[in-house]
């Protein structure tokens, strides 16, 4: 038990050395906390991100509205908190879903190998080589009810949210799949896996108990990095009019909506833009730091 503990400690120490990554982690924790606590904070500060007030449009910051109000008089801070909740949740869920899909495909391809592997990897290459954005545009505009989904889903206010998560997980798994496959291929040759095979453990058990836990670091790194990318991608989809739809706020649609207001109320664009930038960059640094820390070949 001593060895893994000291390894974890070493990893922790290496991570802490990456100061930008640590700062990023703290920033992200703060943002996540604020977003999660949005309803509580709104109550505490007496802010309202829902009720419009036509006589309080584009107000500058004040005691009542710490960051001012948006173009239809809603509190900007409250909107940003709600938007953060949505943007972060979408990104995290979509990244996790892609990681799960990618891990399954990767571990299966790597473990069974041969033709099966060749087929899966060709498929993965195929998905990677597709001109994704245009295809996503098609996916984003598809009429869900034509696919036989129940009205309770297609007629929900949050349908754009589910749709984005689904689209991203459908195409975002390739990186993880490749990484996990590569890892599985090497792990398969290791002593402890061979021993397990010799003892007659089932394939499922070997993959679950022996391979996955040891392939976890590249998955963590790739997933962390993709959370940032998804937040950015959500804003791009919003720009194209295919993102999360109002009245649900997201940083992406807030930024897109603020474009026209850049002459009269630039603050409406500055905040969501800044938050996207900071969050994405923080996820990138975090991923970078994790990569350095978790890489067993890395030197102290």
Partner 1 sequence: MVRITKILMAAALLIFATTATAKDTLTIGISQFPRNFNPNIESMLAKSYILAMARRPFVVYDADWKLRCMLCTELPDLKKGTAKIVTANDGEKGLEVTYTIRPDAVWGDGVPVTTKDVMFTWKVGRDKRSGFSNIEPYKRVAKIDVHNDKKFTVHVSKFTCDYRTRYSIGVLPAHIEAKNFADPAQYRIKSAYETDTTNPGLWYGPYRVTEVASGSHIVLEPNPTWWGKKPAFKKVIVKAIEKTSALSANLLSGDIDYIAGEVGLTVDEALAFNLRTRENFVTQYKSGLIYEHIDLNLDNPILKDRRVRRALIHGIDRAGISTQLFRGHQPISHGQTNPLDTVYDKKVPKYRYNPPKARELLAAAGWSELRKGIRYNAKGERLQLDLMTTAGNKSRELVQQVLQSQWRSVGIDIRIRNEPARVFFGETVSRRKFPHMAMYAWISAPESVPRTTLHSTMIPSADNGWSGQNYPGFANKAMDKALDDAEVVCDEEPNKAVWRDLQRIYAEELPAIPLYFRANPFIMPKWLKGVVPTGHQFATTLWIEDWYVGK
Partner 2 sequence: MFRYTAERIFQSLLVLLALSFAVYGLIGLMPGDPIDLMIQGDPNLSQADAKRLKAIHGLDRPLVERYGAWLFNAVQGDFGYSRNHSQPALDVISDRIINTGLLLGLSLVLSLAIAIPVGIYAALHPYSKTDYAVNLACFAGISVPPFWLALLFIILFAVVLGWLPAGGMATVGDGGFLDRVEHLVLPVVTLTIASVGDFTRFMRASMLQTLRQDFIRTARAKGLSMTRVVTGHALRNALLPLVTIIALSFGRLFSGALITETMFAWQGMGKMIYDAILGNDYNLALIGLMFATALTLIGNFLADLGYVWLDPRVSLSDRERTV
Question: Which residues here bind partner 2, judged by CB under 8 A?
Answer: 20, 95, 98, 122, 125-126, 128-139, 141-143, 146-147, 168, 171-172, 174-175, 178, 182, 221-222, 225-226, 228-230, 232-233, 235-236, 239-240, 252, 255-256, 259, 262, 269, 273, 276-277, 280-281, 284-285, 287-288
Choice from 130, 260, 274, 298 touching partner 1 (CB under 8 A): 260
125 or 157: CB nearest partner 1: 157
217 or 257: CB nearest partner 1: 257
Do you find a cis peptide bond into 247, omega within 30 degrees of 0? yes
Q: Which residue has the tokens 């804003």?
A: 235
For the CB of residue 166, give the shortest distance to partner 2 in the complex, in Å: 14
- What backbone phi and psi angles, to 5 degrees, belong to 190? -75, 155
Strand partners, 69: 75
Q: How far, in Å, are 143, 248, 281 from residue 57 at the CA level?
A: 35, 19, 31
For the CB of residue 60, give the shortest distance to partner 1 in the complex, in Å: 14
For the CB of residue 172, give the shortest distance to partner 1 in the complex, in Å: 23
3-state class of 140 per DSSP? helix
259 interacts with partner 1 by CB under 8 A: yes
For the CB of residue 237, give the shortest distance to partner 1 in the complex, in Å: 11
50 interacts with partner 1 by CB under 8 A: yes
152 interacts with partner 1 by CB under 8 A: no
> Can you list the positions of beta strands (E) in the chain?
none
Cα torsion angle, 250, 252, 257, 262, sign: positive
Which stretches within 113-173 are classed as H helix? 114-129, 132-141, 151-154, 159-171
Burial class for 182, CB neighbours closer than 10 Å (0-12, 13-18, 19+) = middle
- Which residues, numbered 233-252, are part of the site for partner 1 (CB under 8 A)? 241-242, 245-247
206 or 227: CB nearest partner 2: 227
- Which residues, numbered 89-108, are part of the site for partner 1 (CB under 8 A)? none
17 interacts with partner 1 by CB under 8 A: no
Buried/exposed code over 115-137 (b: 16+ C-beta within 10 A; e: otherwise): eebeebbeebeebeeeebeeebe
- Interface ranges with partner 1 (CB under 8 A): 50-52, 54-55, 57, 71-72, 141, 143, 155-157, 159, 241-242, 245-247, 257, 259-265
């Amino acid at each position: 038990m001593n060895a893994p503990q000291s390894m974890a400690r070493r990893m922790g120490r290496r991570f802490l050395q990456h100061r930008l990554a640590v700062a990023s982690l703290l920033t992200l924790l703060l943002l996540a906390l604020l977003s999660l606590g949005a309803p509580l904070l709104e109550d505490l500060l007496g802010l309202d991100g829902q009720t419009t007030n036509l006589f309080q449009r584009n107000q500058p910051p004040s005691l009542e509205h710490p960051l001012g109000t948006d173009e239809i008089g809603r509190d900007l801070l409250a909107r940003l908190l709600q938007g953060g909740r949505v943007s972060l949740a979408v990104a995290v869920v979509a990244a996790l879903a892609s990681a799960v899909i990618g891990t399954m495909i990767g571990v299966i391809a790597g473990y069974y190998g041969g033709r099966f592997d060749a087929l899966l990897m060709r498929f993965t290459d195929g998905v990677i080589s597709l001109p994704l954005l245009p295809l996503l545009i098609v996916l984003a505009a598809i009429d869900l009810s034509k696919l036989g989904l129940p009205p309770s889903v297609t007629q929900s206010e949050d349908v754009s949210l589910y749709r984005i998560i689904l689209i991203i997980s459908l195409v975002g798994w390739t990186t993880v799949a490749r990484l996990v496959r590569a890892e599985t291929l090497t792990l398969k040759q290791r002593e402890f896996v061979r021993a397990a095979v010799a003892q007659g453990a089932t394939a499922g058990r070997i993959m679950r108990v022996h391979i996955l836990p040891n392939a976890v670091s590249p998955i963590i790194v790739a997933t962390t990095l993709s959370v940032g990318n998804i937040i950015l991608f959500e804003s791009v989809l919003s720009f194209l009019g295919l993102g999360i739809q109002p009245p649900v706020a997201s940083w992406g649609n807030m930024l897109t909506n603020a474009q026209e207001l850049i002459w009269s109320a630039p603050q409406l664009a500055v905040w969501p833009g800044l938050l996207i930038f900071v969050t994405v960059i923080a996820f990138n640094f975090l991923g970078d730091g994790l990569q350095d820390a978790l890489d067993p070949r890395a030197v102290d």
